[in-house]
Structure 1
């Protein structure tokens, strides 16, 4: 496992690389408020791939956006496209979990030359907004931005305490929570706190509308594998019914486990990925 850092025009991204560097890059994109280490259990089962897992901006050990910026979903697409361009990666495979799968989906749609194959882990479709609630959405975002500077991050006496807090909000075991907490915390007076930018929790000022989401998904030209968890997020099962007809080339499989099935069921998840990416 090799620690890596990538410099973008406005910030730097931290992460790690594992596997034969001469092979095509398989870029791993984590979910909201997770970090690159969510792919550690999976990486132990995929030694034959050149895995590059990054912390998205504001997450893990990557830099936060500047004080005058916010975390708009479409800006993550720019970040990833810029990363691929700067690194000179001709084409990558993408494994995306949850929000990371949605980011990978839009990147594959708008930059088809950059993505060879796309794997979605308990992720399908895109989060959309209601056109009739646009005013409410913008108002909520403004209030959240006003409140952010006054919010305090939680304090934990040690890594175990942070992991227990993370586990209480998730569907995985303490071992998985410890993996995320180890990379996702930083020292502070009195103990530890989360390294993630508090602005990640702000309400979005705008969301894609369903027709926009459907157009983006229908413009994905590469083969797509959706790995849905049997006990995953209900919204992903609903998205399968809603969006699966949009994809030009879609395979999907269901495996046992919850939303973080790539952490709790890494062998089963890796088998599906291997069969798809190496076929």
Structure 2
């Protein structure tokens, strides 16, 4: 495995590469508050692929956005598109977990020349808002922005303590929590704290409307595989009913496990991905 750092116009993005570097890129995009190493368990069973896994801005070892910026969902589409363009990659395959799958979905819709095939791991559709909630959405976002500078990150005495705290907020075992905590923490006074930008927890000032989300999904031209976890997030099961008919070329597989099935069930997840990407 090789560590990577990519320079974008306003920041750097960290990640790693594994597999035959001469092969077309399979770009891995993690979920909210995770990092590139969430794909480490999966990578052990996909050695034939040229996997490039990145920390999205504000996550893991990647740079945070400037102090006058925030984390709008659509800006991540720009970040990934710019990465692909500046690296001179042709059509990439994308494996996206949760929020990473949503980023991949919108990228495939708006930049179809960049994406050959798209894999969604416990991710389908997009997070949307209701027009009737617009005023409250903006009000909440402003209040969160005012509060962020006063918030303090938790401090842990060691990596094990940080991993236990992470495990308590998710659906995986301590080994998976350690994988994420190792890349997702940094030294601070008193021990370790999370490296992720606190502003990631702020409420978005705006969301796409459901009609906009459906139009985007209908414009995805590439084949899509959705690997949904039987015990995954309830919101993904609800989104399946709402959005699965929007994808022109959707193949759907349901696997045992929770939201992080690619970490807890890496081999069976990898088998489904391999069959889809290499067929």
- Which TM-score tier does this pair reach, normalised by the shorter chain? over 0.9
The residue aligned with 1:275 is 275
1:24 aligns with 2:18: no
Measure the CA separation in 1 of the matches of 2:2 and 2:90: 21
The whole-number CA distance in structure 2 between the counterparts of 1:4 and 1:57 is: 14
User: What is the CA–CA distance in structure 1 between the aligned matches of 2:260 and 2:244, rounded to whole Å?
Assistant: 21
- CA drift at 1:11: 0.3
- Shift in Å at residue 42 of structure 1? 0.1
Distance in 1 (alpha carbons) for counterparts of 2:117 and 2:167: 32
Distance across 2 between alignment mates of 1:92 and 1:239: 26
Match of 2:230 in 1: 230
Query: Which string of whole-angstrom CA distances, capped at 9 and with x for unpartnered residues, describes residues 89-111 of structure 1?
Result: 01100000000000000000000
CA distance in 1, matches of 2:253, 2:85: 32
Residue 122 of structure 1 corresponds to: 122
Consecutive unaligned residues in structure 2, runs of 5 or more: none
**Alignment partners' CA distance in 1, 2:138 and 2:261:** 34
Aligned residue-pair number: 279
Q: What's the offset of the Cα at 1:55?
A: 0.1
The residue number in structure 1 matching 2:150 is 150
Question: Does the residue aligned with 1:273 lie in a helix, a strand or coil?
Answer: helix
Note the alpha carbon deviations across 1:54-87, whole angstroms, 9 max, x for none.
0000000000000000000000000000000000
Provide the C-alpha distance between the structure 2 equivalents of 1:171 and 1:83, rounded to a whole number of angstroms.
31
Distance in 2, matches of 1:81 and 1:263, equals: 26
Moved over 2 A (4+): none
What's 1:57 paired with?
57
Q: In structure 1, what is the equivalent of residue 203 of structure 2?
A: 203
Distance in 2, Cα, partners of 1:108 & 1:204: 22
In the aligned structure 2, how far is the partner of 1:33 from the partner of 1:175? 17
Partner Cα separation in structure 2 for residue 226 and residue 254 of structure 1 = 8
Q: Which residue of 2 aligns with 1:258?
A: 258
Alpha-carbon distance between aligned partners in 1 of 2:5 and 2:91, rounded to the nearest angstrom: 19
SS at match of 1:61: coil
Give the superposition deviation at 1:213: 0.1
Q: CA deviation at 1:155?
A: 0.4
Distance 1:22 1:182 in 2: 29
How far the C-alpha of 1:224 sits from its partner, in A, is 0.1
Aligned to 1:42: 42
Q: TM-score, normalised by structure 1?
A: 1.00
Give a deviation string over 1:9-37, Cα, whole Å, max 9, x none.
Answer: 00000000000011100000000000000
TM-superposed deviation, 1:142 = 0.1
The aligned runs of 1:240-259 (5 Å cut-off) are 240-259=240-259
Gaps of 5+ in 1: none
Question: For residues 173 and 84 of structure 2, what CA distance do their matches in structure 1 show?
Answer: 34
Which residue is 1:79 aligned to?
A: 79
TM superposition shift of 1:139: 0.3
TM-score, normalised by the number of residues in structure 2 = 1.00
Shift of 1:164: 0.2
Residues of 2 paired with 1:16 and 1:101: CA distance? 19
Aligned to 1:183: 183
Root-mean-square deviation over aligned CA pairs: 0.3
Task: Quote the residue 2:113 is aligned against.
Answer: 113
Distance 1:214 1:153 in 2: 37
Q: CA deviation at 1:266?
A: 0.2
